[in-house]
Chains A and B, each alone.
Chain A
Amino acid sequence: MIRVKVRIFSRAIPENTEVGLEDESSVEILLSLLRDKVSCEGAGLKIAFLNDTGHMVVLLNGQSIFSFSGWKTRLHDGDEISLMPMAAGG
């Protein structure tokens, strides 16, 4: 069993949560777990955000998951994952 910290930016102020996962779980698995949790609580904005993976930035310990293995990246105990809208520009 591993525990990871997740910050979900479906609203401007992120929701901080801790999630327990099986060893070797991927980012993909984490996301589907988060979706399952939300559908029980029925928050529309959040479920829309978590489904919109095409417009989502996912950072793992501050780096894009695509610096690793994308959605298949394996998570480890203590990892920090941030989920944000895909904003741009500077």
Chain B
Amino acid sequence: MPFAIAGQILHVDLTNRKTWAEPVPEESIRRFIGSRGVNAKILWHAVRPGIDPLGLENPLIFGTGTLSGTFAPTSGRTTVTCKSPTTGLYLKTNVGGHWGAELKFAGFDYLVVHGAAVEPVYLWIEDGKVEIRDARHLWGKDVRETTRLLHEETGDRSVQVAAIGQGGENLVYFAAVMVSVYNAAARGGAGAVMGSKKLKAVAVRGHGSIRVADKQEFYRSCHVAIKNSYEDATAKFAHLYGTAGSVPMVNEARAFPSYNFRRGHIEGAEKIGGPYLAESKYLKRRLGCNACIFCCHRYCEINDGPWAGCYTGGPEYETISALGTGCGNIDLEVVLKANELCNIYGLDTISTGNLIQWAMEGYEKKIFTEEELGGLTLEWGNGKAIVEMVRMIAYRQGLGNILAEGVKRAAARIGRGSEKWAIQAKGLEQSRVETRAAFGYALAFAVNPRGPDHLHTETIAEFGVRPGGRRLIKKITGDEKYANPRLIEKRAEIVRWHEDCFAATDSLGLCAFIDTSRFGVDPEQMADMLSAAIGTRVSEEELMKAGRRILTLEKCFNVREGTTRADDVLPWRLMNEPLESLARGADVQRALEAKGSENDFVPINSPAMLNRMLDEYYALHDWDRETSWPYRETLERLGLQEVIPELEQKGKIPRRRQIPE
């Protein structure tokens, strides 16, 4: 048995009802680390460009981390990879809970689901064996009920379940795959891909174990990581307040997305933040993913009032902005109820909130017909409407049927100017970061292969509010002064380091919050843990290079699908409208015309500013400036020769341009 991994990739063909396993190639781990990285390689080879993401040819790949199933701190993360229905591009979506570790204990590191079943099925995986079982009795049930029924059926409450709810069944373009009930592989519509396969759930039970090569060194390196993590300044607040703890700070910074990114501040937003939640009657438990040492997840209940009976995991910071302030709402109970429904129906809260906000702005601007509204009143802050919209989206009822297509398609369908307030790029709804006040994030969002969100880099360090973050910025750029989100300088360097680190972190199965949101653990420590686990020395440099290799492969997938530099943009509103709350006295016109001086902060992601950062970013990556495509030598240097023939055949290997005399 190999070290650190179980050693097997499980394939399930739902069309032909066949299953088989193959060994995990050793070179896959060496080159792509695990999880997200190995998933990307599998997806590259399994997919032809142009396939229908909801068709038979799109595989759904679950990849566990190479450190998952051990006690490496925060090693409980799993990546789900496929072609996204919402963007038509590369999708990786990451999730916590306990399913990944259980899959490894059951003898498999990867699960690749091919084709589609005719009638609903679920997979039962136990100790090296897999069965395709009838799930018609589960179809139509929410994620919580499905999990409960599977526990009953298998007679074992330790069974870990990954499932879709009504969202995935109804092919909502932002449906999530839910794991251990409340953990979401949320973004990009992987739940819809699972629904298109009529795959209701994957239930796993494993009684095996994982062994590491050098137990003593592994123990030592893990404890260094734990000790350093606890010494980071934010560790205790991660546990006390969760990601929701960020709410007051972002609101005070006047950069808390509210009213569909029209405003950056809501008076009283602290009433739906993490500290308030911690002091309230709602927070009942703090939970963690497998092997987590922070336990930043929340579990809440409402026991009285109009939403009595609500009980749910969450809310996270993103959810609070998406279903709260983004909709002009600061009623915490509404956020909890809407979050509960997103969880049990299996919907991404970020996208769901984005769609509701788009609809509310459309309602304000009176663009919908009476027939389209069907009696709905969508004033900003209408809590009942927010909750009702979640239901209508999950079941594709009325206006919900249009919203279920994602905001890009919904705006294209409705028109009437609504494209301007569709907060999306590449077809994915932007996550709740005000990129007009954080330029490192702005660049990262524009280049993220799956669309504009923070789970490609998480450049929190650029805010300069934390000592660990300032040290990291100094390490990357040479000077702490660049820990300032309003600067354009050095954003490319900051984004590139974070990309490499994030890809390596995801692929190890570690949580992004161990090294880009908190600063206790660095790539050197991660390399130490990996080396001791697999029994081969991996240096920090090799680990980061593997991270670079992974994200370059992800980029190549998109290039093969037809993307160019023109796709590396941000939503129209953020590129054309300044953020009001920070725009006092700012020279917006000069910023749009690129006439502003470098030192003038203007709260807008103007094309000129974005283009400057993109030029620097592509140059750092050694990708062609005009197309954004990697050069042949870049791919060769990274050991990605396998992608060159196909890209070349399609004319997607750029020639180096001659510099004019």
Q: Which residue of B lies closest to A55 (CB)?
A: B233
The answer to whether B253 and A63 have CB atoms under 8 Å apart is yes
Instruction: Give the shortest distance, in Å, between A61 (CB) and chain B (any CB).
Output: 9
Q: In the complex, what residues of A have CB within 8 A of residue B388's CB?
A: none
The answer to whether B249 and A87 have CB atoms under 8 Å apart is yes
Q: In the complex, what residues of A have CB within 8 A of residue B433's CB?
A: 90
In the assembled complex, B518 has its CB within 8 A of some CB on chain A: yes
Q: How far is the CA of A63 from the CA of B601 in the complex (A)?
A: 12
Number of interface residues of A (CB under 8 A): 24
Which of A10-18, A19-27, A30-38 is near enough to bind chain B? Answer: A10-18
In the assembled complex, B79 has its CB within 8 A of some CB on chain A: no
In the assembled complex, B328 has its CB within 8 A of some CB on chain A: no
The answer to whether A12 and B276 have CB atoms under 8 Å apart is yes
Q: How far is the CA of A90 from the CA of B238 in the complex (A)?
A: 11
**Chain B interface category by residue count:** 35 or more
Given A14-B248, A55-B233, A90-B246, A62 and B582 touching (CB < 8 A)?
Answer: yes
Q: How far is the CA of A66 from the CA of B245 in the complex (A)?
A: 20
Q: How far is the CA of A14 from the CA of B271 in the complex (A)?
A: 10
Which of B33-41, B122-130, B173-181, B463-471 is near enough to bind chain A? Answer: B463-471
Digit string of B79-100 for contact with A (CB within 8 Å is 1, else 0)? 0000000000000000000000
Query: Which residues B300-328 have CB closer than 8 A to chain A?
Result: 316-318
The answer to whether A12 and B275 have CB atoms under 8 Å apart is yes
In the assembled complex, B254 has its CB within 8 A of some CB on chain A: yes
- Contact of A85 (CB < 8 Å), options: B241, B254, B276, B460: B241
Instruction: Give the shortest distance, in Å, between A85 (CB) and chain B (any CB).
Output: 5
The answer to whether B464 and A67 have CB atoms under 8 Å apart is yes
Query: Which residues B98-156 have CB closer than 8 A to chain A?
Result: none
Q: How far is the CA of A88 from the CA of B513 in the complex (A)?
A: 9
- Contact of B484 (CB < 8 Å), options: A13, A62, A67: A67
In the assembled complex, B560 has its CB within 8 A of some CB on chain A: no
The answer to whether A62 and B254 have CB atoms under 8 Å apart is yes
The answer to whether B464 and A90 have CB atoms under 8 Å apart is no
Q: Which residue of B lies closest to A88 (CB)?
A: B234
Q: In the complex, what residues of A have CB within 8 A of residue B316's CB?
A: 89
The answer to whether A64 and B464 have CB atoms under 8 Å apart is yes
- Contact of A87 (CB < 8 Å), options: B245, B470, B582: B245
Digit string of A39-64 for contact with B (CB within 8 Å is 1, else 0)? 00000000000000011011100111
Q: Which residue of A lies closest to B519 (CB)?
A: A88
- Contact of B252 (CB < 8 Å), options: A7, A11, A12: A7
- Contact of B454 (CB < 8 Å), options: A54, A57, A58, A90: A90
Digit string of B243-263 for contact with A (CB within 8 Å is 1, else 0)? 101101100111100000000
Instruction: Give the shortest distance, in Å, between A18 (CB) and chain B (any CB).
Output: 17
Q: In the complex, what residues of B have CB within 8 A of residue A88's CB?
A: 234, 237-238, 243, 245-246, 460, 466, 513, 517-518
- Contact of B234 (CB < 8 Å), options: A12, A66, A87: A87
Q: How far is the CA of A86 from the CA of B236 in the complex (A)?
A: 9
Given A59-B253, A64-B463, A12 and B470 touching (CB < 8 A)?
Answer: no
Given A12-B278, A62-B255, A86 and B296 touching (CB < 8 A)?
Answer: no
Digit string of A58-83 for contact with B (CB within 8 Å is 1, else 0)? 11001110110000000000000010
Instruction: Give the shortest distance, in Å, between B173 (CB) and chain A (any CB).
Output: 23
Given A90-B246, A90-B433, A64 and B460 touching (CB < 8 A)?
Answer: no
- Contact of B245 (CB < 8 Å), options: A13, A58, A82, A85: A85
Digit string of B473-505 for contact with A (CB within 8 Å is 1, else 0)? 000000010011010000000000000000000
24 contacts between A and B (CB under 8 A): A11-B279, A12-B276, A13-B270, A13-B271, A14-B248, A54-B233, A57-B466, A62-B582, A63-B484, A64-B483, A82-B248, A82-B249, A85-B241, A86-B465, A86-B466, A87-B234, A87-B249, A87-B275, A89-B243, A89-B316, A89-B513, A90-B318, A90-B460, A90-B517
Query: Which residues of B pack against A, CB within 8 Å?
Result: 233-234, 236-238, 240-243, 245-246, 248-249, 252-255, 270-271, 273-276, 278-279, 296, 316-318, 431-433, 454, 458, 460, 463-467, 470, 480, 483-484, 486, 513, 517-518, 582
Q: What 19 additional pairs, Cβ within 8 angstroms, besides A86-B465, A88-B246?
A: A9-B248, A12-B270, A12-B275, A12-B279, A54-B233, A62-B254, A85-B237, A85-B240, A87-B237, A87-B243, A87-B249, A87-B274, A88-B238, A88-B243, A88-B466, A88-B513, A89-B317, A90-B433, A90-B454
